Structures are given as structure tokens and as C-alpha cells.
Amino acid sequence: MATDFRLKEQLPELTDRIVASYHDLAFLHHLGHCPPPSVDVVVGIAQDVKQVLFPGYRGRQNLHWGNLTYHVGDLIDSLHDRLTQQFARALRHDHDRKHGLDCDKARAIDFERMGQEKAIAFLETIPSIRETLAKDVQAAFDGDPAAGCFDEIIFCYPGLEAVTVHRIAHEVHKLGVPLVPRMLSEWSHMQTGIDIHPGATIGPSFFIDHGTGVVIGETCEIAENVKLYQGVTLGALSFAKGADGTLIRHTKRHPTIERDVVVYSNASILGGETTVGRGSVIGAGVTLTKSVPANTVVTIEKPSLRFREAS
């Protein structure tokens, strides 16, 4: 079927209407010569950081002691440059958003240097991230009888993938870099089905089994050796509002989970004042809005089943 070029004559007018909408809905675009961080570049950074964290598993293979130092050094050099650029963009964007300064006035602030300082500070955390991830892998192996070996966990487990990206995003979050941590966490969410806010504090030896549907909120605090199953929500209760009706932010809204706790599938633990004590077990399907003492088992009473003949 041939293209009717007469119909294409309406496209310039359509283009004009779309561009006009950019004036009316200004918060839905970011135009100008000072771009925000790039999602594609940030995702590429995360992929390369994972190569450094798990050499030989991600990206380049055929690594050996003879070429490892060169390969890692090349990655670190490239990461430094890209992190500096993306952090500087995020810091400049956040400054302009808060203070309403245009790009020319913002040039008086050395965002590039600020970005570089934070980039180096992040790169310095990589050895400690690796140490923590080693404990996470061990926890997955110890906690899942279906795990055949460490390699299987590193290659295949979405829980470890989500926790790896979270540990990267959390370090960036602690450095005070805006936007980039959420880009990382939401990309991980799309990949794994596990939603962890970069602000959440999670101790070592953390294991998410199966993982789909797990939600961990911004102010959640999770201690060492905690295990979650699929569908678990560590969330907030209803949000408090100020006198002007806007949400009150930067308060403790999500629960505290002490060490050696297990939370089974589809349980919901809600509220900033809710603490699950050390060594406790929260059963499947439980909804919890008050604190639980240490070494407590919380379950729903077994429901009764009714059977009838099919019609």
C-alpha cells in the first residue's frame, strides 16, 4: 500500500501543537544547555561498577592475574570521568531547582570539582562494598538449599542483583548526590521486580529469596543477617501532612528490622516506630504495625477450608 503524502501535510501543524504544549506544561521538559544526568550513562556506570565488584562474571571474560590490573585500572579511570560528569550535572540541576538560578549564574560554582570529589569518594568505597557483598553471597548460599554454588548466586539471583545495585546507590546517596541514586534504584527495580529505596540502610549478610514484589522504603533500617521472601513490604503508614496540606518529609516512616530476623512471603511491616526484635520470625501474610520483642514468632492463625461439590 502506497503512502498518502497528502496525509503527511498535517505533521508540521501537529509538531507546532506539541511544541506549544512544552510552554504550557513546563515541568514535563528540561530544555537548555545544562543537561541533567543521563539515565543511559548512569546505567552504564552501574554495569561497569559491577564488573569491578565481580570481575570475570560481568562484562569482559578471559581475565587473569596478568591482565587484571590493567583491566580494572582502565575501568576505574573511565568511571572517574563519567561519575564526575554525572555527579556534577546532578548537583548543578539540584542547585538550580532549589535556587532558581539560570545556567550562567550557576557557572560561578565549581560543580565539576564537587562532582570529582564525590566521584573519588564513591570509588574509595568499592573495597568495602565488595566485602559486604561477599557476606551477602554467603548468606544466600547458607539460606537457600537450591543454591548449587556461589557462581550460581552471582550469575542468577535477582535478590543479589538488587542488593548489589542498592549498595552502589546507597553509597552515592550518602554522598549527597541527588537524582543518580534513584536512577540506579529504579533501573534495578525494573530489572528485578525488587524496589529498594537508596536511602534504606541494610546491614551485611542480607538475603532476598525469590524477590519479586519486595518493597523496602527510604528510612528502613535493616541489621545484619536478615532474610526476606517474595512480596514482603517494609513500608510506611499513612503520611503525615503539615498545616499547608503538603507531606512532611525527612521523618522516620519505615520500620527497623533487627539482626537475625526472617520475614516470610507477602508480609507487610509498616511504620517508622515499628521494630522487629532480634531473632524474630514474621510469618507469611502477616500485617504488622506495632513492634515485636526479640525472639518472637508472629503468624496468622491457620484459616479453615470449606469444600463443596462442583456444580
Residues forming beta bridges with residue 24, ordered by sequence position: none
Segments forming the whole domain that contains residue 149:
35-193
Q: What is the DSSP annotation of 12-72?
A: HHHHHHHHHHHHHTGGG---SSS----HHHHHHHHHHHHHHHSBTTBS--S--TTTHHHHH
* Average pLDDT in the chain: 92
Q: Are 163 and 218 in the same domain?
A: no
Q: Are 50 and 104 in the same domain?
A: yes
Q: Are 43 and 178 in the same domain?
A: yes
Question: What was the pLDDT predicted at 190?
Answer: 97
Average pLDDT over residues 36-61: 95
Which of helix, strand or coil describes residue 208? strand
The CATH number covering residue 83 comes to 1.10.3130.10
Q: Are 179 and 239 in the same domain?
A: no
Q: Are 237 and 282 in the same domain?
A: yes
CA 9/CA 297 separation, integer angstroms: 70
Average pLDDT over residues 19-32: 79
Q: Are 151 and 217 in the same domain?
A: no
Identify whether 308 is part of a domain.
Answer: no
* pLDDT at residue 103 tops 70: no
Question: What was the pLDDT predicted at 301?
Answer: 86
Q: Are 138 and 54 in the same domain?
A: yes
Tens of pLDDT, residue by residue over 213-235, are: 999 999 999 999 999 999 999 99
The number of distinct structural domains making up the chain is 2
* pLDDT at residue 108 tops 80: no
